Chains A and B, each alone.
Chain A
Amino acid sequence: MVTPDDGPDAAARPDPERSDPVPPALARTVLDSGEISRALTRITHEILERNHGSAEVVLLGIPKRGVPLARRIARRMGEVEGRAISAGALDVTMYRDDLRLKPARALEHTEMPDDVDDKIVVLVDDVLMSGRTIRAALDALGDLGRPRAVQLAVLIDRGHRELPIRADFVGKNLPTALTEKVRVRLAEVDEVEDSVGIVGSAPNGGAA
């Protein structure tokens, strides 16, 4: 599943389900709920502009936090287009390249709102880092059909790419150190106010 702090050291990464050991006070908030909302609104308009409307677009969120983001974009898109638009969910667990580094993980729900053949699929995730999750998502998508094009929307692009993958729509570019973690909180998943924060030692800060 996708984690908010997608990083190269996937094996050592803490389970996102577990409570963060860093107290909230140590997290530097980089986006508040209002800023997240405006970023998603902007992304929505960019998707519509780029694809000349919503007719051909299928939104697929990558669990866990990509799914509520995709749904929020779908809602905004529906408001603009004047019709109900739904987003789906694409679990990429079975396609991950790091499965053998940890005990078998529970699967997330996959839900296709529509046939993807000849459609423009917009993958939605919260944080883009190594690109490995998106690689897995592209493979998963390939087994479900043959979209005309695949685009990528992310709330945060924090750099540190390990694969030739880039986002088409970015909420915020956030340069980070590898020792830092980007923590995304969304009301639907985390039951707290929306926020994006950075936890861990600052770029030139103390020991990692």
Chain B
Amino acid sequence: MKKHLLSAGDLTREDAIRVLDTAAELLGVAQRPIKKLPTLRGRTVVNLFFEDSTRTRISFEAAAKRLSADVINFSAKGSSVSKGESLKDTALTLQAMGADAVVIRHHFSGAPHRLAAAGWTNGAVVNAGDGTHEHPTQALLDAFTMRSHLMPGGGVGADLEGKNVTIVGDVLHSRVARSNALLLHTLGANVTLVAPPTLLPVGVDTWPVETSYDLDESLEKADAIMMLRVQRERMNASYFPTEREYSRRYGLDTTRMNRLPDHAIVLHPGPMNRGMEITADVADSGRSVIVEQVTNGVAVRMAVLYLLVGGATNEEEGS
């Protein structure tokens, strides 16, 4: 694996399977009397969150703590960052604290790349969501969830070869969609992105995916369907006329869900807009694996942290 996890595209097929297999082993830790492993004792993991995301932060925090790492939560709100401190100075501060891993969430696309490339910190940088770019650990937990449901025997050691995954919604602004498109392709799945034309990025025709403007035509073959959150402010920017129209054309309701194959699962990265991209009865149905995604998220993030900083880091190998 590369030193940092900035993009789902950084992972080879072997890397990705290794993360998923490791996560599969670590999933059991949550069921044990002592939900903790000593592996990252003495390592420091910094959660550097420039954008509020309680869900992602507590997932990474739980993951790091279950591996016995020291966790420092650094939230931009109320810190020196909100007083205009630059990313560089923040990074230098973290470096001085001896951060072994920096988990960064940022409202700007590419901020994790800057942190990793500019040499401001020696720690491994994990992208926990950057702007409208990527969210690789979300893609890993989605792939993990799909593999455990769709592949025989829970899928350990396997990829997602030949599985059809439909991702629906605001692809243009979705870091989840970008990371999933890359990772699922790496794992051999066939990805279809479904969105109104206004919410597909320019150049999507060169991505290793199919695209469609019509949700109904991609239901029957889907092994998994992932509904993306639609920000309500997109409506004001004329990406679609009304919430009702969006929901009618691109929302997942019971009627559409019933047209999915029996084994198909429904995913959502959360938080959901119930009634917008997904109806409440679909979200709460037996097809929905949305709560499971959260559980799997901790195991996948444990796997990522272990694989990035659990062994010898580059510096230690060199010495």
Contact status B37-A101, CB under 8 Å:
no
Closest chain-A Cβ to B152's Cβ sits at a distance in Å of 16
Contact status B38-A139, CB under 8 Å:
yes
Partner of B22, one of A99, A103, A106, A139: A106
B263 within 8 A of A: no
Q: Which 4 A/B pairs are nearest by Cβ-Cβ distance?
A: A104-B311, A143-B34, A103-B311, A107-B25
B317 within 8 A of A: yes
Complex Cα distance, B25 from A91, in Å, reads 9
Which residues of B line the A interface, CB within 8 A? 18, 21-22, 25-26, 28, 32-34, 36-39, 67, 156, 306-313, 316-317
A145 within 8 A of B: yes
Interface string of A79-116 (1 = CB under 8 A from B): 00000000000010011000111111111111000000
Contact partners of B33 in chain A: CB under 8 A: 143-145
Contact A99-B311, Cβ < 8 Å, known A106-B18, A110-B28: yes
Contact partners of B310 in chain A: CB under 8 A: 94, 99, 104
Q: How large is the interface on A (under 10, 10 to 19, 20 to 34, 35 or more residues)?
A: 20 to 34
Contact partners of B37 in chain A: CB under 8 A: 94-95, 143
Contact partners of B156 in chain A: CB under 8 A: 109
Most buried by B among A105, A109, A143, A144: A143
Contact status B25-A109, CB under 8 Å:
yes
Most buried by A among B38, B67, B306, B309: B38
Contact status A103-B317, CB under 8 Å:
yes
Contact partners of A105 in chain B: CB under 8 A: 311
Contact partners of B311 in chain A: CB under 8 A: 99-100, 102-105
Contact status B28-A104, CB under 8 Å:
no
Contact status B32-A143, CB under 8 Å:
yes
Complex Cα distance, B18 from A94, in Å, reads 15
Complex Cα distance, B317 from A145, in Å, reads 35
Most buried by B among A95, A99, A103, A104: A104
Contact partners of B307 in chain A: CB under 8 A: 104
Closest chain-B Cβ to A45's Cβ sits at a distance in Å of 33
List 29 A-B pairs, Cβ < 8 Å: A94-B37, A94-B39, A94-B67, A94-B306, A99-B39, A99-B311, A100-B311, A100-B312, A100-B313, A100-B316, A101-B312, A102-B312, A103-B311, A103-B312, A103-B317, A104-B307, A104-B308, A104-B310, A106-B21, A107-B21, A107-B25, A107-B26, A109-B156, A139-B38, A143-B33, A143-B34, A143-B37, A144-B34, A145-B33
Complex Cα distance, B253 from A129, in Å, reads 62
Contact status B25-A110, CB under 8 Å:
yes
Contact A144-B306, Cβ < 8 Å, known A100-B311, A110-B25: no
Complex Cα distance, B308 from A36, in Å, reads 40
Residue ID in chain A nearest B317 by CB atoms: A103
Contact partners of B22 in chain A: CB under 8 A: 106-107
Complex Cα distance, B317 from A102, in Å, reads 7
Contact partners of A99 in chain B: CB under 8 A: 39, 310-311
Contact partners of B18 in chain A: CB under 8 A: 106
Residue ID in chain B nearest A97 by CB atoms: B38
Contact partners of A104 in chain B: CB under 8 A: 306-311
Complex Cα distance, B38 from A105, in Å, reads 15
Most buried by B among A95, A103, A139: A103
Complex Cα distance, B309 from A142, in Å, reads 24
Complex Cα distance, B22 from A109, in Å, reads 9
Most buried by A among B37, B156, B308: B37
